[in-house]
């Protein structure tokens, strides 16, 4: 019985050490340049307009287009898309075998946006944005590490 408990303790320590190493390898500062837009009710289209989502030091900024149904009135062009700047976020990170998933909530005006980012090993990135007052939008882009000046 003592051998079993000793073996179990070593296995637990090894598992903890591996999970700590995996968490340290996870990218926490990044920028995604969007190159394809997937509205939920309209045809998808390529984009080379410089739309981005950035996370740096648990602060997120985004300039993402919106095409779809909105239940709130729009008073300026800044309110049309999913736009937020220097928004403090709490990143939830889940590392899967084939990708890393980041989730956070961001404030944009009066609405809260649920953002999910999937980063793939080849540098591809998928972004999903959900707001209770707008239809869901998805984006595909390329990952680049955030530079110090962003």
Task: Return the top range by mean pLDDT from 16-20, 62-66, 107-111, 143-147.
Answer: 62-66
CATH architecture of the domain with range 27-145? Beta Barrel (2.40)
Q: Is 106 helix (H, G, I), strand (E, B) or coil?
A: strand
| 121-127 average pLDDT score | 95
pTM: 0.76
pLDDT, tens digit, 9 for 90 and up, residues 73-108? 665 555 678 888 999 999 999 999 999 999 999 988
The whole-number pLDDT of residue 81 equals: 80
16 pLDDT higher than 50:
no
* Contact partners, residue 15, CB within 8 Å, separation at least 6: none
Q: Which residue has the higher pLDDT, 142 or 147?
A: 142
Q: What is the pLDDT of residue 21?
A: 38
74 CB neighbour count, 10 Å cutoff:
11
Q: What is the mean pLDDT of the chain?
A: 79
Least confidently predicted of 58-62, 78-82, 98-102, 123-127: 78-82
pLDDT at position 74: 60
Domain boundaries along the sequence of the chain: 27-145
- pLDDT at position 88, please? 92
CA atoms of 106 and 112, how far apart (whole Å): 6
Which of helix, strand or coil describes residue 112? Answer: strand
**Inter-residue contact 76 to 3 (CB < 8 Å):** no
């Amino acid at each position: 019985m003592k051998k079993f408990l000793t073996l179990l303790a070593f296995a637990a320590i090894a598992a903890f050490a591996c999970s700590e190493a995996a968490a340290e390898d996870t990218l926490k500062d990044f920028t995604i340049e969007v190159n394809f837009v997937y509205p939920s009710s309209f045809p998808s289209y390529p984009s080379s307009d410089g739309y981005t989502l950035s996370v740096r030091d648990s602060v997120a900024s985004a300039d993402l287009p919106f095409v779809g149904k909105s239940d709130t009135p729009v008073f300026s062009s800044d309110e049309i898309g999913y736009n937020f700047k220097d928004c403090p976020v709490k990143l939830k990170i889940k590392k899967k075998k084939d990708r890393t998933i980041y989730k956070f909530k961001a404030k944009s005006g009066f609405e809260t946006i649920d953002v999910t980012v999937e980063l793939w090993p080849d540098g591809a990135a998928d972004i999903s944005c959900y707001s209770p007052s707008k239809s869901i939008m998805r984006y595909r882009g390329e990952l680049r590490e955030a530079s110090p000046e962003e």
